[in-house]
Amino acid sequence: MMPIGSNTVLVVAAALFVLGLAAALTRKNIIFILIAVEVMLNASGLAFVAAGAKWHQPDGQLMFLFILAMAAAEISVGLALVLQIYHQHKTLDVEDLKELRD
Amino acid sequence: MSLLFYISSFVALLFLSLGAPFVAVLEVIVYAGAIIVLFIFVVMMLNLGKDTAQQESAWLRPRVWLLPSLLCLILLGEMTALLIIGTEDKMQISVVDPKKLSMSLYGPYIIAVELIGFLLMAGIVGAAHIGKHTKKHLHRYLQDPETTEINI
C-alpha cells in the first residue's frame, strides 16, 4: 500500500473543515447548515483516524466511533427541530427566525 | 443537489487507505444508510422552493467575499507550507483490525461506551418528543375558551 505522509492527511482534514465552516457561515438554510456541521465533524474524525494510524493504536478509530454516534444523535434531534420550525414559522431562513418566543 | 455531492465526497475511501476498514464500513452504513435518508426525507417533507438560493446568490456578491476568502487562502497556504516543510515522515500503514478495536472498546473505554449509549438514548427520546405534534390536553375545568386554541 502506498505510504501517505501524515501531513497530507492533516492538510486534507483542515481543508474539509474549512469548507464546512465556510458553508456553515454563508448558507441561509438550516438544512445546509446542518450538513456543513456534519462535514466539519467528518473532518475532525478524519484527523483522529489519521493520528491513530500514525501511532498504530486503535484509539483514533474509537474516537471516530464516538464522533459518529454523537453526529447521529445530533442530526436526529436537529432534523426534528427543523420540522418543528417549519411547522411553526413556514420558513427555514435563519434571518427570519429571529425570535425565541413562539 | 448538494446531498449527492456530500455522499460522493465521503472520506470512507480515505479511511480504507489509512488502514481502517471497520470504521470505513461503519461510516458508509451510518452516513449513506441513515443520515442521508433522514435528510432526503426532511427535504421531501418540506418541499423547498427556489427563493432561498436566489437570495443567497444575491447576498454573496463577489465584492463581499473576495477579500476575506483571499486572506483565508493565504492563511491556509501558510499552514499547508508549514505542515509540508516540517518533519515529513511517511506513515507505516498498519491495518487495525476490528478485533483489536473491539478489545479496546470494551476494555479501557467502557465508560465512554456507556456514555455514548446515554447520548443516543437521549437523542432518540429528544427527537421523538420534539418531532411529535404537541396538542395540549388540559383538564376540562382548566379549559377556558381563550386558551384552548393554543398556538402550536
**Alpha-helix residue ranges (DSSP H) falling in B2-50:** 2-8, 12-17, 21-30, 36-46
At B121 the pLDDT is 92
pLDDT for A33-77, tens place per residue? 888 888 888 888 888 888 887 777 778 888 888 888 898 888 888
Count CB pairs under 8 A between chains A and B.
Answer: 171
Buried b (16+ CB within 10 A) or exposed e, B89-100: eebebeebebee
Residue B11 resides in a domain: yes
Count of CB atoms situated within 10 Å of the CB of A93:
14
**What's the mean pLDDT when you consider all of chain A?**
80
CA distance A71 to chain B (A): 9
In a domain? residue B44: yes
For residue B32, what is the domain's CATH number? 1.20.120.1200
The answer to whether residue B110 scores a pLDDT higher than 70 is yes
Band of the pLDDT at B140, cuts 50, 70, 90?
low
Q: Quick check: is B16 in a domain? A: yes
The predicted complex's ipTM stands at 0.71
Quick: pLDDT tens for B28-47.
777 767 777 777 777 777 76
Domain membership flag for residue B104: no
What is the per-residue pLDDT across B47-98, written as a single tens digit (0 to 9) for each? 665 565 666 666 667 777 778 788 878 888 887 777 776 655 566 666 667 7
- Tell me the shortest Cα–Cα distance from B132 to chain A, in angstroms: 9
Beta-carbon contacts of residue A39 (< 8 Å; ≥ 6 apart): A16, A17, A19, A20, A23, B6
Q: Which residues on neighbouring strands pair with residue B90, listed in sequence order?
A: A5
Residue A1 has pLDDT above 50, yes or no: no
Cell numbers for A61, please give them. 478509530
Residue B21: domain span: 2-96
Put simply, whether the predicted model's pTM sits higher than 0.80 gets the answer no
A75 with B35: Cβ contact below 8 A = yes
Confidence of residue A89 (pLDDT cuts 50, 70, 90): confident
Nearest residue in A to B84, CA atom: A7
- Confirm whether B117 is domain-assigned: no
Q: Which domains does chain A have, with CATH numbers?
A: 30-89 (1.10.287.3510)
Closest CA in chain B for residue A75: B35
Query: Is the residue at B113 inside a domain?
Result: no
To the nearest whole Å, the CA of B61 is away from the closest chain A CA by 12
Residue percentage of chain A with pLDDT more than 70: 91
For B85-92, which contacts have Cβ atoms below 8 Å and span 24 or more sequence positions? B86/A7, B88/A5, B88/A7, B89/A5, B89/A6, B90/A3, B90/A4, B90/A5, B91/A3, B91/A4, B91/A5, B91/A6, B91/A53, B91/A54, B92/A3, B92/A56
In a domain, B127, yes or no: no
Domains identified in chain B, total number = 1
Q: Which residues of B touch A52 (CB under 8 A)?
A: 20, 96
Grid coordinates of A40: 466539519
